[in-house]
Amino acid sequence: MAQKIRSAEGVLRTIGPPGSSPEVPKEGEKNVLITSALPYCNNVPHLGNIIGSTLSADVYSRYCRTRNRRTLYICGTDEYGTATETQALKEGVAPQALCDKYYELHKETYEWFGIGFDYFGRTSTPWHTKISQAIYLNLEKNGYLEKQEREQTYCEGCQKFLADRYVEGVCPHCGYEDARGDQCDGCSRTLDAIELIKPRCLVNKTHQVTSRVTGHMYLKLNTIQPATEEWIKQSWKKGKWSVNAAINSDGEIVDARLRNGLLPTPLTRDLAWGIPVPIEGEDVYGMKGKVLYVWFDAPIGYPSITANYIPEWEKWWFNPEHVDLYQFMGKDNVYFHTVYWPSVQIADGRNWTKLHHLSTTEYLNYEGGKFSKSKNRGVFGPAAKETGIPADVWRYYLISTRPETADAMFSWTDAIAANNNVLLNNFGNFVNRTMKFVSSQYNSVIPESGDEGPLSPNDPVDAEFITAVNGLLKDYIDAMEAVKLRLGLQTIMLISIRGNNYLQSSGLGKALMAENPKRCAQVISRAVNLIYTLSALVYPFMPTTSESILKQLNAPARAVPEVLSTDILAGHVIGTPVHLFKRIDEEAANVFRKKFRGDDEEAAENDATKAPAAGGSKKKKKAAAKAKVVPNGPNTQEKATAEKPVAKERDVTDKGKQKQIDLEGMREAMDVLKQLKAELETIVRESGQDPNAEDWEL
């Protein structure tokens, strides 16, 4: 099919999709290095995990590519430590076998959601060992390590020291009988394993557990703290971090550990599964047989995974003058990325690429409660695929509810409404109506309109349309540059509303084509070129939808423009129009809610109160009966889910934060929704239909 696309500089996208080819930073250009928090390799991610880091990072990575920026997005599984050892013990497999299993499950999940890493690696590699040991030795040479001796639980039967995850016992505070060595699930108090009453070894509960003194190497964070604080104050302002647990909107350091003064933190553990502590010469500190602590080596996974992908990895990780590092994570990981890991980089002494912009999220909860592995409550891993809901619809809904400033709630009713009312009736309707008109009335050929290049309004309707679209394009770019992903997505939907309104206000139809063919051609040209622009705007959020639009347009991928212009020219032949989205029956919400509630009795009671009254249309009953049955979540136990040490550090104020209302986000969303609703109602009324009817169509 003939392609006639304006080839001016900046129109087409020149940076390939994620993973297409390794990019090397280039001086004089913006080079973007992106990471999302490495998931532990002992469980399956749920929707909250996905939106908290990997999906959000993917959206920004794809956005950078639509601006033709050299971009590298790295992630992988965090595989060492007690979490892996204890889960392997419970599943009766070797730690490496466990990591192999969950690595594939994570990879499969992210691939289905369309999360495009340039490389998804893992930390159990020779490169990871090499880089981690090199950093450790640099810390030792630079005088930032010291040996401390502490009491630690010891199993007389196993004849070895037990890390906290290997010990259970009675909580000294509340008497809960199955308290873990790091935290009590009964009263949520953080613990030291030696505090437990009647401690027992998880390897063999009949063994006697005592305590002995053992020595470990500690990183002197207290010595590094002044340099770390100075770096935080500079980087926060320059990179415009999102407000988080480390620093507030006024630039004041609020992290309790920093305010109270950092303490030396352990870098070694008595474990078998981990990176051996490097020893040069005589073992003066007695570290033979010990391994590096997982929270020391975990952040090193970012550069080590990069090294496994691209030989020139140092050009990304030792190049702060030309590389901006963007890191995405849930709020639990903030301390380790704003204080701990930067402190290690500073103490290492080399010219590391450090954090430029931090993007964090609060928690995504599930249907009035929380995701729970032990109760199989919520959507875990590949189970989303089995609902029959396309990945792009999942991506749209998750980003539209992204918990940017306070906790958010997943709702089946809202998810289905987002598909039906926004994607189908708004975005999809605009694209399909335009493309079908070109196909049926112009034999799939873009007509001559007299437009080319940047548009100048010559009609009152066009003047309002072009001004509004250009203003929204600026809003979109501003939002995405500030990593306000939710606002960026909402702005796209406002642009498609403008497209629908333009078609309606212009009177597009066979009558216009007959009475004023030149005007009809102009309207079609501008609508098609707006769709071409939308293909770039929506690509970060819904890449498969973007690809479908480009296929229908018969056009190559384009960059994000700053103003609307005519880039698809007269004589261009489009492809075959198809619907971008399909309606989901509203009754499916009850089916999915029931199937994903798992073993939660409280959720079952809530479902009963939400269930519709008996009766209803035969059509709805039939649709509900046909709704796909969704399997329960994975069988892994809640206790087996290893939490990183940050859980110990969680401040009591987190409970208060969870109860906060996301006022900023609510106002922002409500304003956009009101505008969407008002403009849709106007379009429907102008088409001679009742906007309150259930069966109106544009």
- Domain ranges in the chain are 31-133+291-414, 145-219, 426-573
pTM score: 0.85
For the chain, give percent helix, strand, coil, nearest 5.
Answer: 45, 15, 40
* Fold classification of 31-133+291-414 (topology level): Rossmann fold (3.40.50)
Question: What ranges make up the beta strands (E) of 337-429?
Answer: 355-361, 364-366, 408-410
Show the tokens assigned to 143: 């005088």
Q: What is the CATH number of domain 145-219?
A: 2.170.220.10
pLDDT, tens only, 415-436: 999 999 999 999 999 999 999 9
Looking at 495-598, which runs of residues are DSSP E strands? 565-566
pLDDT at residue 36 in the model: 97
Phi, psi of 395 (to 5 degrees): -60, -45
Compute φ and ψ for 113, nearest 5 degrees: -75, 0
* pLDDT over threshold 80, residue 696: no
DSSP letter (8 states) at residue 372: B
Q: How confident is the model at residue 673 (pLDDT cuts 50, 70, 90)?
A: low
pLDDT digits (tens, 9 = 90+) for 52-91: 999 999 999 999 999 999 999 999 999 999 889 889 988 9
Q: What percent of the chain has pLDDT over 70?
A: 85
d(C-alpha 56, C-alpha 398), whole Å: 9
Least reliable range by pLDDT among 239-253, 425-439, 681-695 = 681-695
What average pLDDT score do residues 649-656 get? Answer: 36
Helical H runs in 252-325?
A: 256-260, 294-297, 301-309, 314-317
Query: In what helix (H) or strand (E) does residue 341 lie, and over which residues does it extend?
Result: helix 341-348
Which is more confidently placed, 170 or 189?
170
Which of 1-5, 219-223, 692-696 is the most confident on average?
219-223
SS3 180: strand
Q: Which residue has the higher pLDDT, 371 or 135?
A: 135
- CA torsion sign for 301, 302, 306, 309 is positive
625 versus 476: which is more confidently predicted? Answer: 476
Residue-by-residue DSSP string for 100-122: HHHHHHHHHHHHHTT---SEEEE
Statement: residue 221 has pLDDT above 60 = yes
Q: Quick check: 636 pLDDT over 70?
A: no
Angle at CA 262, nearest 5°, toward 261 and 268?
A: 160
C-alpha distances (whole Å) from 608 to each of 370, 596, 611, 621 are 18, 14, 5, 17
CB distance 261 to 228 below 8 Å: no
Q: Which of 162-166, 548-552, 632-636, 684-688 has the lowest mean pLDDT?
A: 632-636
pLDDT number for residue 393: 98
- The fold of 426-573 is Isoleucyl-tRNA Synthetase; Domain 1 (1.10.730)
pLDDT at residue number 687: 55
